[in-house]
């Protein structure tokens, strides 16, 4: 299958959650809102997730698991799926990137890359 047949776009919006954070305890909580759009020619089911989370002191944590928020959604060709989740860092700035393990209608497995995005407390970056 060509790359066009598995054209999955991942868009991310982030927000800092001050009410859940405790900077004096090095606890910075962020929400991220993900929109996965299937721009390919076949339906795709999201089976797994793999995240690489890096804080401002270059500490890295990897997270792997089934699906997202307890679901393994089927994203029809031309359609989108949205969900929200969160991450806790020990620093006010960090980043995340990763991939979704997916399978298409024909049973072909492929990875949809999640581009790196920044988690940052507002006004921490110039």
DSSP string, 32-46: EEEEEEE-SSS-EEE
**Structure token pair of residue 125:** 């970056």
Class in CATH terms, 3-120 = mainly beta
User: Which residues 6+ apart lie within 8 Å of 29 measured at CB?
Assistant: 16, 17, 20, 21, 86, 87, 88
pLDDT at residue number 32: 98
Are the C-beta atoms of 92 and 121 separated by less than 8 Å?
Answer: yes
Alpha carbons 12 and 35: distance in angstroms, whole number? 6
Cα torsion through 95, 83, 101, 43, rounded to 10: -140
On whether the pTM is more than 0.85, the answer is yes
Beta bridge partners of 46: 102
Residue reference for tokens 């860092």: 89
Q: What pLDDT, on the 0 to 100 scale, is given for residue 3? A: 47
What was the pLDDT predicted at 124?
64
pLDDT value, residue 5: 60
pLDDT digit string (tens) for the chain, length 126 residues: 444 568 999 999 999 999 999 999 999 999 999 999 999 989 999 999 999 999 999 999 999 999 999 999 999 999 999 999 999 999 999 999 999 999 999 999 999 999 999 999 998 654
Q: CA-to-CA distance for 84 and 68, rounded, in angstroms?
A: 9
What pLDDT sits at residue 18? 97
């Amino acid at each position: 299958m060509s790359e066009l047949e598995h054209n999955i776009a991942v868009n991310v919006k982030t927000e800092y959650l001050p009410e859940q954070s405790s900077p004096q305890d090095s606890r910075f909580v962020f929400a991220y809102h993900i929109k996965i759009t299937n721009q390919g020619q076949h339906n795709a089911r999201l089976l797994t997730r793999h995240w690489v989370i890096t804080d401002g002191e270059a500490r890295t944590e990897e997270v792997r698991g089934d699906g997202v928020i307890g679901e393994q959604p089927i994203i029809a060709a031309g359609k989108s799926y949205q969900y929200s989740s969160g991450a806790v860092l020990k620093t006010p700035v960090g980043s995340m990137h990763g991939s979704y393990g997916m399978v298409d209608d024909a049973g072909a497995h492929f990875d949809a890359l999640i581009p790196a995005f920044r988690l940052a407390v507002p006004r921490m970056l110039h």
